Structure formats: structure tokens, C-alpha cells
Amino acid sequence: MTVAATPRAPALAQRGTVLDVQSLSKRYRGQPVVDGVSFSLCRGEVLGLLGPNGAGKTSIISMVLGLLRPDTGRILIEGTDLAEHRAQALATTNFAAVYAPLPGNLSVRQNLRFFGRLYGVRGLTERIDELLEQFELQHHADTRCGLLSSGEQTRVSLAKAMLNRPHLLLLDEPTASLDPATARELRQLIRSLAGDAGILWTSHNMLEVQAVCDRVLFLSRGQVLLTGDPRLLPARHGAADLEELFVRVAREPLTLREPA
């Protein structure tokens, strides 16, 4: 499939590949949910993984996290094969999702300390203090997470995800259910995290995707249907905007597939 390069692509490519997914496939009860998916992610890049419910997004993330074993294919994280060296591959990987809240009976600081120990973070006390400041959580450090607002809980989840200074950050619907102002603020924060890290991001908010992502993959029925710059893809396929293109991917996928 021929894909137009995004404006940042050459600079990103020079920073190296942090994630390389090769011919990934997974079946449930005999039905393919991920079917021969291949893509790569560079350091400093935000890659949007898009598609309707059931397209295979969360299954791909679960396989990259080592929670789900692929039927076929390989996953390389900074060149390390996940299947052969799981601990090494995941050492600089982390994850946050709206459906995976932190324990609500623990305070912000207690949560960060618990996960920091789990990840084996050195200089943990200093690292927690850095993250409390970076995510503007100093005044909530001793508040139980269950008492925080949705936006504050999302900040804590992101702080947790940055504890081990990940080179690969997986974000599954990180701003879902947030009010527009809070979501915008957190998008800017997440965009700033794509320094040395590559970010794989799923979202159903196309305005958010266009504002944050350097490149997107549209999935349909477990396969990559389209890929490219989210600001250029709609016009290439006769759509007014990314949301219209998303609807067409969901309803008319066979009319959109790009030639190999």
C-alpha cells in the first residue's frame, strides 16, 4: 500500500523505531479479529489507531502489552521480540485507559508508590515528586483517587504511566467521558509527552485525533484499511473531514481500500 509521508516523517524516522508490528493476527472462536496487521511507530510520534467498535484496536493493544498472545506475527519493542523476551521488551512500556482506573481507596501518592515499586523505579520518592509537579497533582497527593474528578483521575493515570519513563506509551481512549475543556488541556499534556516516547493512541474523537496525531491507521474488520496524515486523508478519499471518513470506514469499508 502506497502511503503519503507526513511532514514530520523524515525527522521521526531518524529517531528510530520503538514499535514494529509484523503480520499480527488473532482469532476468537474461529473468527479473525486482527488479520495480518503490520505497522511501525517512531520515537516522538503519536500514532492514532482508529476504527469502529470491534475493528481490533483493543486486541492489538492487548497483544502489544503481552496480555494476549497472537496466533501469528511478531511484535518488536525497540528491536526486542516480545514473545521471546517479554520482561525486557516491556521494561520501557506503559499504558493508560479510561476503563482501567487506579485503586480508588489509595491516595495519589500511594498509587504512584505502589506502581513505582512494581516497575522497579529507582529514586522513587524523587520521581513521584517530579510527576506530581508535572501533572499538577501536588495538592491532591494525599487524596484518595476515588474522590477525584474524572480529569484529575486521568492525570493520575498518566502520571502512573510515566513512572518508568516509557519509550512506548499505549493510550486507549485516554480522554473519553471528559468535558471538552478538560479533554483539550489533557490532549496538550499528552502531546508534550511525545519526546523520546512513541505514543499509540486510540480514540473515537476525530477532532482530538486531528489535533494530536502525526499519523493514523484506520482499521476495519481487523485489517488496516487506510493510513496517513489525519489532516490529508479526508481529501484523498473525498471526505469533508476526518469524522466523515471515520463514518465511511465503519459503513462502506470496501469502497475505501487503497491499492497495494
> CATH assignment of 1-92+168-254?
3.40.50.300
Q: What is the pTM assigned to this prediction?
A: 0.87
Give me the phi and psi of 232, to 5 degrees please.
-110, -25
Please give the C-alpha separations between residue 134 and each of 117, 148, 166, 248, 253, in angstroms, as whole numbers. 20, 17, 15, 39, 42
Predicted local distance difference test score (pLDDT) of residue 1:
32
Q: At 158, list the grid cell.
A: 498518566
- Average pLDDT value for residue range 136-147: 96
Split at pLDDT 50, 70, 90, the class of 257 is low
Angle (CA) 85 163 76, round 5°: 25
Is 5's pLDDT higher than 50? no
Does the structure show a pLDDT above 70 at 115?
A: yes
Q: What is the DSSP letter of 182?
A: H
Average pLDDT over residues 110-121: 96
Percent of the chain with pLDDT over 90: 66
pLDDT score at 4: 36
Q: Where are the chain's structural domains?
A: 1-92+168-254, 99-165
Distance between CA atoms of 112 and 110, rounded to whole angstroms? 5
pLDDT at 20: 97
Instruction: Give the model confidence (pLDDT) of 156-192 as tens digits.
Output: 999 999 999 999 999 988 887 778 888 888 888 888 8
